[in-house]
Amino acid sequence: MNDNSGELFSYSSSSTSSAAATTSSSYLSLNMVSNNNNHANYDHVVMDHVSPSNDTPSRRGGVDTTSEKINMRRPEKKIKKPKHAFQTRSQVDILDDGYRWRKYGQKAVKNNKFPRNYYRCTHQGCNVKKQVQRLTNDDGVVVTTYEGVHTHPIEKSTDNFENILTQMQIYSR
DNA sequence: CGACTTTGACCCGCGC
DNA sequence: GCGCGGGTCAAAGTCG
């Protein structure tokens, strides 16, 4: 199974790999097509596999107000989940990738004027997380970081981002 | 009524 | 050892 420890997939910006090139191309096309209602002005997409240092400290920032102890913050081993950052040029922060996300937090980043939004997949058993952040330099660029892999079919019939994600998963195997 | 967003508080890791 | 920054949770509120 996902035995990809570290890099999930290598994305060559040199466009040497036909697979990578195809993927990015499809992504652009799909986005434009699927977002025909909202501005959808995606201009550029940059895929970047984020550092192997993804660790998931497993520290539940749980607000155990009343609990005096409860130090059982997931003694499990560091489950290194694959983290992928997508840089998309769009006017909207929320990209419709077909999955249903629930916002669970918002934090202001020091180096950015715009706050960072944290989303989590609402599907049961699917702990895929994603964080969206807008660049302070270019307010038209949105960086979406995905953490984890969806293990369930998509809800919406949109074949946009989901396609790419699926392909990525396939390539990573 | 259900699902989702908002917002403040809490916790942890790391740097100094 | 302390402080900062980042990440998460939970209660209340909002919307369809």
* A100 half-sphere exposure, CB direction, 13 A CA radius: 9
Task: Output phi, psi for A20, to 5 deg.
Answer: -60, -45
pLDDT digit string, tens, across residues A139-171: 677 888 888 877 776 665 545 555 555 545 444
Q: A113 pLDDT exceeds 70?
A: yes
Nucleic chain B contacts, protein chain A, residues 43-62, CB cut-off 7 A: 57, 59-62
Q: How far apart (Å, rounded) are the C-alpha atoms in residues A99 and A161? A: 9
- Return the structure tokens found at A27: 């992504």
The string of pLDDT tens digits covering residues A10-30 is 333 333 333 333 333 333 333
A131, β-bridge pairs = A118, A145
Across all strands, nucleotide nearest A120 (CA–C1'): C8
pLDDT band per the 50, 70, 90 thresholds, residue A126? confident
Residue A158's SS3 state is coil
Query: How do residues A35-83 score in pLDDT, each as one tens digit?
Result: 333 344 444 455 555 544 444 444 444 455 444 443 344 444 454 566 7
A145 contact to strand C (CB, 7 A limit): no
Q: What ranges make up the beta strands (E) of chain A? A: 45-49, 83-89, 101-108, 115-121, 129-134, 141-147
Strand B within 7 A of A78 CB: no
Could you tell me the pLDDT band of residue A90, with boundaries at 50, 70 and 90?
low
* C-beta within 7 A of nucleic chain B, residues 107-126 of A: 107, 122
Q: Which nucleotides of C are covered by protein (CB under 7 A)?
A: 4-10
Does the predicted model carry a pTM greater than 0.95?
A: no
